């Protein structure tokens, strides 16, 4: 079983965001297929990738005075805090709990992309901000 597969429904048409989302899906797939000994490292990679993704999105929202910034950044903060707890659990050998967290995260991530991220990507595209090299260059 695959928790989350990259597909058209997850693609928002703002390539720097889509690329980071795809990387998240890849790291989540690594977590899903990790052995118990590999899990702490795989989860740490997922947390690092999520930090980069959320930082980038938060930056786009700040620089463009996006209207739903507060709600969206709070969601990012809450999820990242839970994921950091997951890292402690993975290091403590609580693999089953971490895999449950991965399943919940996959479902949250798909919903988040299709709601708050979709609104942000649309804002970036329709405002012309997506064409600004500062918004598209890799950080
Ligand atoms: Fe996102
Ligand atoms: Fe987001």
The mean per-residue pLDDT over the stretch 29-45 comes to 97
Q: Confidence class of residue 43 from pLDDT cuts 50, 70 and 90?
A: very high
* Residue 108 maps to a domain: yes
| Separation between Cα atoms, residue 120 and residue 23, nearest integer Å | 18
* Residue 23 maps to a domain: yes
Query: Picking from 14-23, 26-35, 43-52, 62-71, which range would have the lowest pLDDT averaged per residue?
Result: 62-71
- CA of 74 relative to ligand 1 center, distance in Å: 13
Instruction: Please report, for the domain that includes residue 110, its CATH number.
Output: 1.20.120.50
* Residue 1 maps to a domain: no
* Residue 117 maps to a domain: yes
The mean per-residue pLDDT over the stretch 105-131 comes to 92
CA nearest 57: which of 111, 84, 24, 20? Answer: 20
Give the pLDDT score at 134: 74
Q: Domain range spanning residue 117? A: 11-136
Give the pLDDT score at 128: 76
Alpha helices (H) along 39-137: 39-63, 69-91, 95-112, 118-126, 133-136
- Alpha-carbon Rg of the chain, whole angstroms? 15
Tell me how many domains the chain contains: 1
Q: Which residues surround ligand 1, an ion (CB under 5 A)?
A: 117
> Using the 8-state DSSP alphabet, how is residue 7 labeled?
-
- CA of 45 relative to ligand 1 center, distance in Å: 16
* Residue 30 maps to a domain: yes
Give the pLDDT score at 57: 96
Q: What is the pTM of this model?
A: 0.92
pLDDT at 137 over 70: no
The mean per-residue pLDDT over the stretch 86-90 comes to 98
| Separation between Cα atoms, residue 41 and residue 114, nearest integer Å | 29
């Amino acid at each position: 079983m695959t928790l989350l597969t990259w597909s058209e429904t997850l693609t928002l048409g703002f390539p720097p965001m889509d690329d980071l989302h795809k990387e998240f899906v890849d790291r989540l797939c690594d977590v899903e297929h990790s052995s118990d000994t590999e899990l702490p490292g795989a989860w740490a990679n997922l947390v690092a990738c999520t930090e980069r993704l959320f930082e980038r999105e938060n930056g786009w929202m700040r620089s463009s005075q996006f209207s739903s910034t507060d709600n969206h950044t709070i969601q990012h903060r809450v999820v990242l805090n839970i994921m950091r707890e997951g890292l402690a659990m993975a290091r403590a050998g609580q693999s089953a709990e971490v895999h449950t967290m991965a399943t919940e995260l996959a479902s949250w991530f798909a919903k988040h992309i299709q709601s708050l991220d979709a609104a942000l990507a649309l804002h970036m595209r329709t405002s012309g901000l997506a064409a600004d090299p500062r918004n598209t260059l890799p950080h």
